[in-house]
Amino acid sequence: MASNKVAIQEPINESLEYGAWRFSSQKCHILNSKCTNQTQCQSVPEATPEIEKRKLYCDHCTFLKLLELPELPEMCFPQSYLVVEHCTGVKISFSAFDALQLVDAHNDKMKVQMADKWKAERSNTEGVGQVVHPFDWTYTTEYSGTIEPSPPHAIKIEATKERINLEKLKQQEKILFYSDIILFEDELADNGVSILRVKIRVMSSCFFVLLRQFLRVDGVLIRVNETRYYHEKDSPYILRETSTKEGATKDLHPTLHTQQDEVARLLPIKSLKRE
């Protein structure tokens, strides 16, 4: 008799302790399409604080009930993450849930024909027909990572003119820790792609984190939101650089539309902040 069990991918965990820092990452399976613990999830009182609900709900209910989005990206990885932690307790983490919290759940900022086609493509998807308010179906987020404890309790954030030493990053140096983690991805009903991923590279002299959302709406635009973290060994601070780059798809050769690194290099900068 055929089994009805579905194999769940076991988490892939990696970590490194180096000096005052600990780096850890996890790659895990895609978000379940249904609740995996109805008895517990249905018993959580409505008045329970959100932070506690996130501990009590299964992943499916956490995303469905706590995010205001009427539709989630096709692929969410709820248990995939990257954490950079200092021995003082300061922690910078990256997760799909925290990123999706910053998506506009009430306004459709992409007023193009693809919006109607996207909704039509998902007309049979549970919940889509009940959507009353528009939302940002491109899942654009200005997420730059989650810092704990929240500033200014343990750290100070201030503007700077200092730049990340890109030349140093180009030097050949042994990589002690590397991870590339997709947090969420959606193909916008075959009209493009919206993908958020985070990468980290740790060397003996420094570490570098790149959080990038790559958005392509076919026939309309390509946008890249990036956050970079850079720290040199023994330095008392971390550099953070956030930017938005954007251009029309017609201004880039079609062969480049899927080459994310090259596109990110060529697109004009719309905003840039260094801290």
Can you tell me which residue has the tokens 């076991």?
10
Express each pLDDT in 227-265 by its tens digit. 999 999 989 999 999 999 999 989 988 888 888 899 899
pLDDT of res. 67: 94
pLDDT of res. 272: 95
pTM of the predicted model over 0.75: yes
pLDDT of res. 103: 95
Express each pLDDT in 23-41 by its tens digit. 999 999 999 999 999 999 9
Q: What is the mean pLDDT of the chain?
A: 88
* Nearest alpha-carbon partner for 138 in 59, 224, 210: 224
Question: For residue 57, what pLDDT band results from cuts at 50, 70 and 90?
Answer: very high
Question: For residue 121, what pLDDT band results from cuts at 50, 70 and 90?
Answer: low
Express each pLDDT in 140-178 by its tens digit. 999 999 999 866 666 889 999 999 998 888 889 999 999
Average pLDDT over residues 42-69: 93
Express each pLDDT in 75-105 by its tens digit. 999 999 999 999 988 999 999 999 999 999 8
Phi and psi based region of residue 195 (left: phi greater than 0; alpha: psi -120 to 50; beta: remaining): beta
Distance, in Å, from the CA atom of 149 to the CA atom of 25, rounded to the nearest integer, reads 19
pLDDT-above-90 percentage for the chain: 66
pLDDT-above-70 percentage for the chain: 86
Task: Select the more confidently predicted residue: 99 or 119.
Answer: 99
pLDDT of res. 4: 45
Q: Which residues pair with 21 in a beta bridge?
A: 18, 86
Lowest mean pLDDT: which of 112-116, 199-203, 215-219?
112-116
Is the per-residue pLDDT at 126 higher than 70? no
Q: Which two tokens stand for residue 160?
A: 């700077």
